[in-house]
Homo-oligomer: A and B are copies of this chain.
Amino acid sequence: MDTHPCKRPRILLHDPTLRDGHHAVGHQLDVGQLRAYATAANAAKVPVVEVGHGNGLGASSLQIGRARLDDATMLTTVREALTSSRMGVFMAPGWGTSHDLVAAVHHGADVVRIAAHCTEADVTERHLGVVRDLGAEAQGVLLMSHMTGPGHLAEQCALMAAFGAQAVGIMDSAGHFLPADVTERVRAIADAVDVPVIFHGHNNLGLAVANSLAAVDAGASVIDATARGFGAGAGNTQVEVLVAVLERRGIETGIGLREVLAAADIATDRLMKAPPSIDSIAVASGLAGVFSGFKRPVQQIARAEGVDPVDLLLALGERQVVAGQEDLIGDVARELKAAIR
């Protein structure tokens, strides 16, 4: 393994275990669980520990799912546990407000991600400005980034950088990308902006680690990954695996392997019923290009309406549904049911 420092580009791993993982447990993590994992991630020198409702600041609701804890409690709990890691938060369009951003920074958020659908970067301008004014690090990410091409994603990322984002990038919200898709998109973005490029993968097609490697090789320097892959649907890029693979590649992350393995063991024991796996519904949602967060409602509604969840996901994919349109799941399920009769 090459250990020559000059040849070891530094990759920053951003860990949304306590935010994206919330999708896997109906947003029900408690104070003890947040404290246990944040303490372990801090001990492993994970650079950024992101926390919150799965859909981000202000998203706790009947429609999306109520979190067990309010944002303030989540943030203060994790803040207390972090001595070296920075704390991150995520805000997605529609749910969070400037008020939530002010409160999050007040509660100690160091890194604030403002998300937008892949074609709607213009909606991030005001909130990115608010974050900059608050003195926190502002980042901009594009959701469902498989729904448009490299050139358009690069334009949208350049727009967010112009709005003041200090890092910009894409989320493979549906776990739909193959490595070549990531390479061309990340390369186009890296060519278009002067700030670090972010990649956030999901494992629906078993490619989260490979897609993250492709992103690094194409110029991304901020990679999202979670303990044991704890996250929506088939889960995210598995952080302890990515640390091992980057170490094999001679790429420094600053994270100790044993410590990150220990943190992953704590996450497995304390946070999840079972580690994420790629079930048939996850494969179908990855293929269909449907947001991984739809998994649980799709399973529930398919069962209730007596339709095949794979058929339901493929139909939702044809509708090009995005997060926030969960109310469409029932309608599409009933249409399928009617069509079967």
- A interface vs B, CB < 8 Å? 178-179, 203, 205-210, 213, 228-229, 237-238, 240-242, 244-245, 247-249, 257-258, 261-262, 264-265, 268, 274-280, 283-284, 286-287, 310
Measured between C-beta atoms, what is the minimum distance from A276 to chain B in Å? 8
Check A287/B210 contact, CB under 8 A, given A228-B277, A274-B274: no
Task: List the 4 shortest-distance A-B pairs measured between CB atoms, nearest first.
Answer: A210-B210, A206-B209, A275-B277, A261-B280
CB-based contact B283/A240 at 8 Å: yes
Bound together, the chains give a CA A248 to CA B284 distance in angstroms of: 12
CB-based contact B206/A287 at 8 Å: no
- 13 example contacts (A-B, Cβ-Cβ < 8 A) are as follows A178-B249, A179-B213, A206-B241, A207-B209, A207-B210, A209-B210, A248-B287, A261-B280, A262-B280, A274-B277, A275-B277, A275-B278, A276-B277
Interface of A is mostly: helix
Given contacts A206-B210, A244-B287, 7 further A-B pairs with CB under 8 A are: A178-B245, A205-B245, A206-B238, A258-B310, A261-B280, A264-B280, A268-B279
* Residues of chain B contacted by A264 (CB below 8 angstroms): 279-280
* Residues of chain B contacted by A241 (CB below 8 angstroms): 205-206, 278, 283
Measured between C-beta atoms, what is the minimum distance from A256 to chain B in Å? 12
Bound together, the chains give a CA A37 to CA B258 distance in angstroms of: 38
Bound together, the chains give a CA A49 to CA B90 distance in angstroms of: 46
Bound together, the chains give a CA A248 to CA B287 distance in angstroms of: 8
Instruction: Give how many copies assemble into the complex.
Output: 2
Bound together, the chains give a CA A195 to CA B261 distance in angstroms of: 42
* Residues of chain B contacted by A237 (CB below 8 angstroms): 206
- Closest B residue to A311 by CB, please name it: B258
Bound together, the chains give a CA A244 to CA B206 distance in angstroms of: 10
* Residues of chain B contacted by A245 (CB below 8 angstroms): 178, 205-207
* Residues of chain B contacted by A274 (CB below 8 angstroms): 274, 277
Check A310/B280 contact, CB under 8 A, given A178-B245, A206-B238, A248-B287: no
- Closest B residue to A208 by CB, please name it: B206
Bound together, the chains give a CA A257 to CA B286 distance in angstroms of: 13
CB-based contact B178/A244 at 8 Å: no
- Closest B residue to A274 by CB, please name it: B274
Measured between C-beta atoms, what is the minimum distance from A200 to chain B in Å? 16
- Closest B residue to A242 by CB, please name it: B206
- Closest B residue to A203 by CB, please name it: B206
Bound together, the chains give a CA A109 to CA B257 distance in angstroms of: 44
Bound together, the chains give a CA A210 to CA B212 distance in angstroms of: 11
CB-based contact B248/A278 at 8 Å: no
Measured between C-beta atoms, what is the minimum distance from A307 to chain B in Å? 14
Bound together, the chains give a CA A208 to CA B209 distance in angstroms of: 10
- Closest B residue to A211 by CB, please name it: B210
- Closest B residue to A263 by CB, please name it: B280
Bound together, the chains give a CA A257 to CA B268 distance in angstroms of: 31
- Closest B residue to A248 by CB, please name it: B178
Check A238/B280 contact, CB under 8 A, given A210-B207, A210-B210: no
Bound together, the chains give a CA A261 to CA B283 distance in angstroms of: 9
CB-based contact B277/A261 at 8 Å: no
